Chains A and B, each alone.
Chain A
Amino acid sequence: MKPSRLNVEPQLAHPDDFYQALLELHQGLTDEESRLANAKLILLLANHIGDQAVLDEALRIAREGLGEGSASAVERSGSAVPSVIWAAPLRRVTKERT
């Protein structure tokens, strides 16, 4: 079976309608509530897609052009930093073992 790919061709019949609905989702919400609404939306859609390979590709594209190790990005994401530092030595150790 061919590995599935993220479909990045235009799919939406009425893109403006969708975009408007997306913005309306956030109407009257505080920033924190908006973050929650976005998170719920992502979780719902990810479950609907249900294909890790497709999701991985979407995650990769979503990260494009962002972060790239700039100090300010690290500060913004707060203590997400230790997990990155931690993951690296663990991989290294695993490699040495084999």
Chain B
Amino acid sequence: MARAHERPVYAYRRVADQDTGRPVYHPVVIVGAGPVGLTAALDCAVHGLPHVLLDAEDTVCEGSKAICFAKRSLEIFDRLGCGERLVSKGVVWNLGRVFFGGRQIYAFNLAPEAGHQRPAFINLQQYYLEECLIERLGELGGTDLRWRNTVTGVEPCADGVGLTVDTPDGAYRMRCDYLIVADGARSPIRHLLGLPCRGQVFQDRFLIADVVMQADFPTERWFWFKPPFHTGQSTLLHRQADNVWRIDFQLDRDADPDEEKRPERVIARIKAMLGEQVRFDLDWVSVYTFQCRRMERFQHAGRIFFVGDAAHQVSPFGARGANGGIQDVDNLIWKLALVMAGKAPAALLESYDAERIPAADENILNSTRSTEFITPKSEASRAFRDATLMLAEHYPFARRLVNSGRLSVPAMLRGSPLNTPDTETFDSPLGPGAPCADAPIQTATGEDWLLRQLGNLFTGVYFAAAHGRVSARSVEIIRTLAGGTIPVTVRVVGERLSGKGPDGCGIVDVAGLVRRRYGGSPGTFYLIRPDQHVCARWRQLELEPVRHALLRALGQTQRHSEQIA
């Protein structure tokens, strides 16, 4: 097989920890350098948390694996400083086509409304994502990345977690305050701790191939139900970077995976699909099955956090695996940073489960429904599926029932204990828990995007009056918030740049989209978490409600709050 991509080898290095006879202490240890573990390391680096990242291998993944990265993931990578290079390497697509048999039954456009920096999705091979994140870790510095370090023992105790790590030079021991487990769907650490992961196991097999070709197919997602060129139930074609195309063939349930992976057989399948005249090279082939399941809790013994596939798994339809895991990390690390800095109680960490378990359930629900539609399991299920597809060609109502994957959207965190509920009505869906919406803006340094002004710390967005002036009282509140134990940096949004509030933190709402998306009548104030989710919002800026909301977002009990206030 021709290789579209040479996997870099990251050298194993012996570290001083291996020569000290006793376990060496590290504040945070992350296990697994896949997309989610690498994102966790990046987020720790951004928050200044000292951390060690261990990986059992010494390279990036083989084959394209997770290929669709959603807008929310790109926004998180922007916060971590590498969104732009992912987008420029990746392939942007908005149009999806759905075929039934030999006919296109409809097309859909995922293009978000105008005025967002990032597209709905990019397609990028997982190995490129991993390489990019590793490169970014190197730029930020501070990550102690140890390849060919396999965790073989985990002992949680009251004041930390003990680890036994095997290397080519033998085993050594470490201990840490917090362990972040990102070791994938089979999670050796989950097994070491004897923690169950329950849900539905699917029998369906999919053949997955990366193909290199110079083809003039457009950059679109093509999904076939009952394709004429393939006896299985479905086929998916996706373009990736560097003229690599990803094809997923659903196999018959009794297919022999080893037989199906033989290159001659795969090539014959692809020729039947693309036509005899199309020249291509087969780059990578695999056969996968999947499960839709999760752990009962993602926080274990107070100090161990499961993230990504280690905590929950979904079917691939909807790109909810890696994108869900990246949101886990986005949710966890700022909390860990505040707790470790002594600025929030350990109770804040419990909100990781409260927020990410419902998010995982939503992903599991959606990906399970897609699986039911794509791989019907009974005659009745198949009849409804086919009837839906037959109607969809001519009757638009049925298109909304067609489910070839409900694509990843960010969790709304609606029921989160960290939210302070609205007490006023807003003409905006960005209620407490929602991830902030982007909008084009201008700052003193030029054209920019709103989301780039938010995140990593608590921030506020204050909507100035139309004339642009901010009252002395509001300026005072904004100053007080900026100087608190937990500083809140407030951005003042107005129509012009001159005279916009204190300290040059003004934002010009060049297209009026900030005001429209946030329902920002003059005086409106949004309090925003370090992960860019909304904590609370008000029609008027008053200090006390903001303080209370901030304490609530820090996981403080009412009594704690009173003591601190």
Interface residues, chain A, with chain B CB atoms under 8 Å away: 32, 35-36, 38-40, 42-44, 47, 77-80, 82-83, 85-86, 89-90, 93-94, 96-97
Contact = CB atoms under 8 A, between A and B. Distances in A.
Looking at chain A's contact residues, the main secondary structure is helix
Nearest to A78: B378
15 contacts: A32-B383, A43-B384, A43-B401, A47-B397, A77-B378, A78-B377, A78-B378, A80-B378, A82-B200, A82-B377, A85-B200, A86-B199, A86-B292, A93-B198, A96-B296
Contacts of B292: 86
A69 B12 CA distance: 57
A38 B380 CA distance: 10
Contacts of A97: 296-297, 353, 357
B274 interface: no
Given A36-B390, A43-B387, A43-B388, A86 B377 contact: no
Contacts of A77: 378, 380
Contacts of A38: 383
A49 to B, nearest CB: 12
A94 B418 CA distance: 19
Interface of B: 198-201, 203, 292, 296-297, 353, 357, 361, 364, 368, 372, 377-381, 383-384, 386-388, 390-391, 395, 397-398, 401
A82 B401 CA distance: 22
Contacts of A42: 384, 387
A96 B295 CA distance: 13
Given A42-B387, A78-B379, 19 more contacts: A35-B380, A35-B383, A36-B383, A36-B386, A36-B390, A39-B383, A43-B387, A43-B391, A44-B391, A77-B378, A79-B203, A79-B378, A82-B200, A82-B201, A83-B377, A86-B199, A93-B296, A94-B361, A97-B353
Contact of B377 (A43, A79, A89, A96): A79
Contact of B398 (A43, A86, A96): A43
A78 B377 CA distance: 7
B259 to A, nearest CB: 23
Contacts of B387: 36, 39-40, 42-43
Nearest to B385: A39
Shortest beta-carbon contacts, A-B, top 9: A39-B387, A86-B200, A79-B377, A35-B383, A40-B387, A78-B378, A39-B383, A47-B397, A39-B384
A44 B297 CA distance: 42
A35 B383 CA distance: 6
Given A86-B292, A96-B296, A80 B391 contact: no
B378 A89 contact: no
Contacts of B368: 83, 86
A38 B381 CA distance: 12
Contacts of B201: 82
B361 A83 contact: no
Nearest to A39: B387
A43 B397 CA distance: 9
A83 B380 contact: no
Contacts of A90: 198-199, 361, 364
B299 to A, nearest CB: 12
Contact of A40 (B198, B199, B297, B390): B390
